Structure 1
C-alpha cells in the first residue's frame, strides 16, 4: 500500500533519512520538527501513520500522543533515546502502538512501519467478520468497535488486535509471544512487556475493578485468557 506518513523528528538529518526510506518504498512523507507542528499536520491531513520522536521542542512526543489519542486511532510509532523500561512503557500507556529506541537501523524502522501500515489497512478494510461476543463484551472486527454492556470503548490499534484475537477464541490461554506475533508479526525486537502494558490498558477500559479483572485473566507462568466475565483472576 502507498501511505501518507507524517514524520515528527527535530534531528533534521534523521528526518531526511526516514523520509528517503519512506519515499523509496512508494509512500508520501511530510516532515515536521516540533510537536505542535506534528499535531497540526495530523489534524489537517489525517495521515495513515505518525512517526513521532519523543524529545522535541515546543511540545514533546508524549504530550502529542496523549492529545492525539483523545481524537483518533491513528497508528503511532514512537522513536525514543530513552532506554529505561518505564519510559518505553509510558509511551505505550499513552497510546503509542510501537516504539523504537535510538540508535536504530533504517531497515528495522521500515520493518516496524510496514507492520503498522498492514495493521491499519486490515482495520480500515471492509470485512464480513461477525461480531465477537463474550459475556457483555462485543468486539466488531469489521467496524473496529468494542463495547461492553452497551458502553463503547475506545481502543488503540494494538489493543484492538489483542482483544479481537482473544475474543475469537474465548477461554483459550495465549502466551505473550503469541499475542505479540499477532500484533507485531515475527518482530523479535519487541519486548513481551509490550503485551503486558496493552493488557493493563485494556483492563482499565473494560473492567469494573482493573485490580480484580473478570474478563482479561492472567494465567500465571503462561499468559492471558479472555472469559465471559463470570470468572476470577488466577
Structure 2
C-alpha cells in the first residue's frame, strides 16, 4: 500500500520485506535519498538494521514506530534516525515528513557555495558536508549536521526548539516531543569523544545555544 501511494506521489520506491534484505539493499551500490524503516520486521528488527547501517551510511532514515511507544522512538533517535512517525499514521502525514527531510537535503545542496562556518574550534563545511571539532572529524547524520549548522549560524544566541523543529525537521514541535533533545544529545556525545569542552548550552525550557568560546 505504501509503495503504491508513494509511487503516485512521484517517488521511485524499492521494497525489502525483511531486515536482512533491507540492510543488504540499503548498503548496496544504489544511493537512496531516504529510507523508511519499520521497527517490527522478520530476520532483523529495525533497530539492528539502523545500528549496522550507521556504521557505514548516513542516508536519512524515517522510522515507523509503534503508537505511543516512547522507548522505540527514543532508541531510534539515539541510534541515528532522523525522524520517526508512530503507527497508525495518515499517508498525507508520511508524505509531509518525507518532503520535509528531502527539502532539507535540497536546501543543503543549493547552499554548497557557502563558505565554511568556524566557531569555537568547530569547522563546518556545507560544500563537503564535513564537520571537524578540534581537528577531529565528526560522523554526523544529516539531521545532526543541520542542527549544528543552525546553531553555528546563530552562535552565542538562543535557538529555540520550535525554530529547530521547523527549520530542520520541517514540522511544528509537538508537546512531549523529545526528538530535538535526542539529536542534540547525540551531537554532544560525538563532540565529547574528541573534546572535554561542552560547546552546546541548554537553556532550560527554551532551547540551545552554541558557545562562542
Both structures adopt the same fold (TM-score exceeding 0.5): yes
Distance in 2 of aligned mates of 1:182 and 1:223: 14
Aligned counterpart, 1:11: none
Aligned counterpart, 1:9: none
Residue 188 of structure 1 deviates from its aligned partner by 5.1
Contact in 2 for aligned 1:36/1:58 (Cα 8 Å): yes
Distance in 2 of aligned mates of 1:123 and 1:209: 26
Contact in 2 for aligned 1:49/1:74 (Cα 8 Å): yes
Residue 133 of structure 1 deviates from its aligned partner by 0.6
- Of 107, 119, 131 in structure 1, the residue corresponding to residue 116 of structure 2 is 131
- Of 152, 156, 174 in structure 1, the residue corresponding to residue 141 of structure 2 is 156
- Of 63, 74, 80 in structure 2, the residue corresponding to residue 78 of structure 1 is 63
Aligned counterpart, 2:27: 43
CA RMSD of aligned residues (A): 2.0
Question: Which stretches in structure 1 are left out of the alignment for 5+ residues?
Answer: 1-16
Residue 82 of structure 1 deviates from its aligned partner by 5.1
Aligned counterpart, 2:201: 217
Distance in 1 of aligned mates of 2:111 and 2:149: 16
**Residue by residue, what CA displacement relative to the aligned partner does 1:20-55 show, whole Å, maximum 9, x if unpaired?**
121112111111110001011112222111111001
3-state SS of paired residue (1:31): coil
Contact in 1 for aligned 2:39/2:46 (Cα 8 Å): yes
Distance in 2 of aligned mates of 1:28 and 1:71: 23
Contact in 1 for aligned 2:64/2:84 (Cα 8 Å): yes
Contact in 1 for aligned 2:27/2:57 (Cα 8 Å): no
Residue 142 of structure 1 deviates from its aligned partner by 1.8
Residue 208 of structure 1 deviates from its aligned partner by 5.8
3-state SS of paired residue (1:201): helix
Distance in 1 of aligned mates of 2:197 and 2:147: 16
Distance in 2 of aligned mates of 1:209 and 1:132: 19
Structure-2-length-normalised TM-score? 0.92
1:153–1:135 Cα change, 3 Å: same
Structure-1-length-normalised TM-score? 0.84
Residue 192 of structure 1 deviates from its aligned partner by 3.8
Aligned counterpart, 2:72: 87
Question: Which stretches in structure 2 are left out of the alignment for 5+ residues?
Answer: none
Higher relative contact order (CA 8 A, sep 6+): 2
- Of 137, 143, 151 in structure 2, the residue corresponding to residue 166 of structure 1 is 151
Residue 141 of structure 1 deviates from its aligned partner by 1.6
Residue 151 of structure 1 deviates from its aligned partner by 0.3
